[in-house]
Amino acid sequence: PHCRLGHCQQPIGLLLKLSTPIDFDAVDGRPVDLVFVLLVPQENPEQHLKTLSHLASLFNDDDYRAELRLSKNDHHLYHTAVESEAELRLAS
């Protein structure tokens, strides 16, 4: 889920790993267990699209999703997401 907000000054993201997957009408029909919520400034639609594109490329990577799913707590999830994202950037 994502949206643009008038009082938002910079992009804000929240990564959630759900303990029980939910039906989210995903394209592949599978339940969703990883959710990234994105809030971006209203006045910068280009940044919104670039951020969405980057997130889509990250979450399309099977290894990235697998690493996130293996995390055991919030701290580990955060570090896995940040480290894996940095590694994917270097590989691009």
Give the pLDDT band (50/70/90) at residue 7: confident
The whole-number pLDDT of residue 90 equals: 61
| Fold that domain 2-91 belongs to in CATH | Mannitol-specific EII; Chain A (3.40.930)
Other Cβ atoms within 10 Å of 64 Cβ, number = 19
Is 2 in the active site?
A: yes
pTM: 0.77
> Given 2, 75, 76, 79, which residue is catalytic?
2
Give the pLDDT band (50/70/90) at residue 5: confident
The whole-number pLDDT of residue 15 equals: 92
Please provide the size of the chain in residues. Answer: 92
The whole-number pLDDT of residue 75 equals: 93
The whole-number pLDDT of residue 39 equals: 87
For residue range 34-76, what is the model confidence (pLDDT) as tens digits? Answer: 998 888 888 877 877 888 888 888 888 898 899 999 999 999 9
